[in-house]
Structures are given as structure tokens and as C-alpha cells.
Amino acid sequence: MNKPLDEAATVSRAEVEDLLYHEADLLDAWKLDDWLKLLTDDATYYVPPNDKPDADHRYTLFTIADDIVRLRERVIRLKDPNCHAEYPPSRTRRMISNVRITGVSGDTISVAANFVVYRFRRHTEPYVFVGRYFYKLRRIGGALKIAERRAVLDAEELGLLGSVSFLL
């Protein structure tokens, strides 16, 4: 039944790009329930601290280190008008480029991409988040799903970027 190696090996960069661009559209449109459907049931989401971008969240204090339980709770929070940091919701626009498949191991496809995420709120200068995404994707029922997404910021410190209160 399972043919993980074959399935993973047949993935194309175009298929990966389609997934990432679709994800970016959903996040920019705040269609967060639809976005959750792109994830595996054990998905994780990480934003490492700016001073330790390569660290492991079990030993290092991250900015964000969500398991799927907290990630679903994060979506509940983001949809709530009492999520004051994102109410009214920020306008965001994501630019994703330099998408590469960096490895295939078992049923897991590793992907790297560059990002620029612009975040706009009233009466403030645009916030510009620049960095690199590292994804682990798995094919489930024929569709590519996100098992892990790691957003590594290039900024030396968050500084004027302030909070990472939206989904980066």
C-alpha cells in the first residue's frame, strides 16, 4: 500500500511551489481554517530566536515553537477579536522565492525558500520580515501536506519588528 519513497521521489519543484504559493495566499487572506487543512495531524511551527537561528526548541528559548495542539489554539486565538495584537487583523503580503527541494528522506521532502513578508497596520511604518522557510512535507492521500514549517528570520534581533503575532 505505502510507497513513501516512490511518492516522495516523484515530487517536482512546481508542485512544491504551488503548495507554498497557495499557503501564502491563504495566510494573507486570513483563511486560517483552510490553512490548517494543509497541515499534517502532527505538524509543527517554529520561529527560532534571532540570536540562535539554528537551535533546537527543546534546549533553546524560541520565539514560537508550536506543536499541532498549540498551533490549532493559535488559529482559534487569531480569529478572535480579543487577539488584540492582530485586531484589526494585519494586512500582510508574502513574497516567496528561491524555492528548492533540498532533500528526500523516506516519505519526507525537505524544502527551503526565501521569504519577505510585509505587515501593515494603521499609523505605523511597514514591518518587513525577511528570512528563510524550511519545510518538511509529506504526501498524504496523494496531496502534499506540511509536517513542519520553520521561519528563520535574518534580522539580528526582532527590534522594531516587535511581535510575531501573526502567522509568519
Partner 1 sequence: MDAPRHGHGSNGQLVVEIPNTSFRVNREVFVSKDVLEREQHALFDTCWIYVGHASELRNPGDFKTRFVAGRPIIFVRDRGGEVRALINSCRHRGATVCREREGNARNFYCMYHGWTYQLDGALRNVPGEDAYPSGFDKKAMGLVAVPRLESYRDFYFLNFDPSAESLEQYLAGAKDSIDLVVDQSPSGRMEIISGTQEYDIRANWKLLVENSVDDYHLIATHATWLNYMRNSGVNVMPPKGSGQLLPTKGAGRDLGNGHLTTDNPNFRGRPVAKWISIYGEEAKADIDAIRAELVARLGEARAARVADTNRNLAIFPNLVINDGSSVTVRYFYPIAPDHMRVVAWALGPVEETEAQRARRLHAFLTFYGPGGFATPDDVAALEAAQQGYTSWRDVQWNDLSRGMGRNEEQHNTDEEHLRVFWRHWKLRMEDHA
Instruction: Please give the grid coordinates belonging to residue 144.
Output: 502534499
CB of 118 to partner 1, least distance (A): 18
The residue among 18, 34, 3, 16 whose CA lies nearest residue 102 is 16
Q: Which is nearer to partner 1, 62 or 134 (CB)?
A: 62
List 65, 68, 116, 152, residue binding partner 1 (CB under 8 A): 65
d(CA 27, CA 166): 9
d(CA 40, CA 38): 7
- Could you tell me which stretch among 11-19, 28-36, 82-90, 131-139 binds partner 1 (CB under 8 A)? 82-90
Each as own residue / partner, the long-range contacts of residues 79-86 (CB below 8 Å, 24 or more positions apart, any chain) are: 79/32, 83/165, 85/163, 85/165, 86/165, 86/166
The answer to whether the CB of 69 falls within 8 A of the CB of 44 is: no
CB of 61 to partner 1, least distance (A): 3
Q: Which is nearer to partner 1, 18 or 51 (CB)?
A: 51
Q: Which is nearer to partner 1, 50 or 110 (CB)?
A: 50
Site track for partner 1 across 119-158, x = CB under 8 A: ----xx-------------------------------xxx
List 9, 61, 95, 128, residue binding partner 1 (CB under 8 A): 61
Instruction: Please give the grid coordinates belonging to residue 126.
Output: 511597514
List 3, 31, 98, 162, residue binding partner 1 (CB under 8 A): 162
Burial of 24 (0-12, 13-18, 19+ CB in 10 A): buried
Q: Which residues bind partner 1 (CB under 8 A)?
A: 47-52, 55, 57-66, 70, 73-74, 76-77, 80, 82-86, 123-124, 156-165
